[in-house]
Amino acid sequence: MASAKQPELVRRLRRLVQSEQARRIRVYRHDRVLMDVTVPLGIGGVAVALLLAPKLTAIAALVTLFSDVRVRIDRPTPDAPPLLLTPDDAD
C-alpha cells in the first residue's frame, strides 16, 4: 500500500537531479537492485530532469508498488557520502 510520504521521496529525487547533486540512483528491495540509473552531469539540471523523467517515473512506480524499497543516491564528489532514502523517512 502506498504511503503519503512516497510522493515526497520522488519530489526529493527530482530536486537532487535538477540541482546536479546525484550521480547515480539505485533502487533496492531486500538487498537486490531493482533499478540502476546513471545521471549525466554537466548538461544542466533541468535538461537532465527532462531526460530522466521516464526513469524517475519508473522509480516512483517501484516506490509505490513496494513499501520496503531503499533508494541510494551516489553524489558527484568522491568525498560526499551517498544518501539513503526510504519512503518512510522522506520529509
More confident residue, 6 or 78: 78
Would you state the pLDDT for residue 33?
Answer: 95
Q: pLDDT for 64-84, tens place per residue?
A: 888 788 899 998 888 889 988
β-pair partners for 70:
28
SS (H, E, C) the chain: CCCCCHHHHHHHHHHHHHCCCCCEEEEEECCEEEEEEECCCCCCHHHHHHHCHHHHHHHHHHHHHCCCEEEEEECCCCCCCCEEECCCCCC
Distances in Å between the alpha carbon of 83 and those of 1, 12, 25, 43, 78? 24, 11, 10, 22, 13
Which domains, ranges and CATH numbers included, belong to the chain? 6-85 (3.30.1490.290)
The pLDDT value recorded for residue 35 is: 92
What's the pLDDT score for residue 74? 92
